[in-house]
Amino acid sequence: MKRILLPLLLIILISNISAIRINEFESNPEGPDTGNEWVELYDRGDIDLEGYKLVNNDGDEIVLSGSFSKYYVYTFDKQWLDNKDEGIFLYKDGELVDETDVVDDGANDDFAWSYCSKDWEFVEETKDGKNDCKKEEDQDESDSEIQLTNNVVQETPTAQPEPQVISLGAKDIKSEKDKKNLDKSDYALYGFIGFCILLIVLFIIKSTYNKNEFE
C-alpha cells in the first residue's frame, strides 16, 4: 500500500507546486499609456501573491498582494513601462522567479508581448485570457499537415506490383550464344556422322552387289 501511496503523494505535491510566470504585458496600449499599461501573470493553480513583487527594467518596484487562479492582470496606475527597451522581472522574497525579454512596443495599438512556448511574441493582446499565439500555432498546424501529407504519400501502398526486371548479364547472354552455337555444331556433327554412315552403307551395298555380280 505504501508503494502506491508514496508516488501518488509525490505526484499531488508536484502538481501543486507553483509555476507562476509573467504571461503578457502591454507597454504601449492604444491611446494614452498612463493608467492603461498592464501585465498579466499566469499560474496553473491557486497562488497567494504574498512576498511577490514586479520590477521593471529601470529597477522600479511594485509589491503585489492578494491571490488568484490562472490569470491575473495588474494595471499600472501611472506610466510605468517604457515603449523601448522594456522588460519585467518577477521576484518572490527577493529571489527572481521569472523575467520577460527586454523588448520594444512602438505600436500604439492592441498588440502586446505574449509568452508563447518559451518565446515572446508580439501578437494581438488577450488580457486575462489565453495568449493568442496564432502565428506559431498556425505554423505548427501547417507543419503537421505537411508531415501528415508526407506520411500519407509514404504509407500509401502501391497497388501495382512492381514489375520484375529480368536483366540479362553478359554471362547470361554469352551462355545463350554458346548454347545456340553448340546446337548448330551438334547438328553439323550429327549430319556428318549420318552422312558417313550413309556412305559406309552405300559402300557395303555396292561391294556386295559387285561381289554377287562376279560370282
- Residues at the contact surface with Ca ion, assessed by CB under 5 A: 24, 28, 33, 40, 105, 108, 111, 126, 131
Q: Which is nearer to Ca ion, 39 or 64 (CB)?
A: 39
Q: Tell me the CA distances in angstroms from 190 to 29, 107, 176, one per residue in order.
A: 109, 104, 21
Q: Which is nearer to Ca ion, 137 or 183 (CB)?
A: 137
User: Min. distance of Cβ 121 from Ca ion in angstroms?
Assistant: 11
Closest CA to 111 of 22, 23, 28: 28
User: Min. distance of Cβ 140 from Ca ion in angstroms?
Assistant: 19
Q: Which is nearer to Ca ion, 24 or 91 (CB)?
A: 24
Q: Which is nearer to Ca ion, 49 or 114 (CB)?
A: 114
Q: Tell me the CA distances in angstroms from 31 to 26, 85, 104, 123, one per residue in order.
A: 12, 20, 17, 18
**Whose grid coordinates read 562376279?**
214
For residue 55, the cross-strand partners are 61, 89
User: Min. distance of Cβ 52 from Ca ion in angstroms?
Assistant: 18
Contact 92, 55 (CB under 8 A): no
Closest CA to 37 of 28, 46, 45, 48: 28
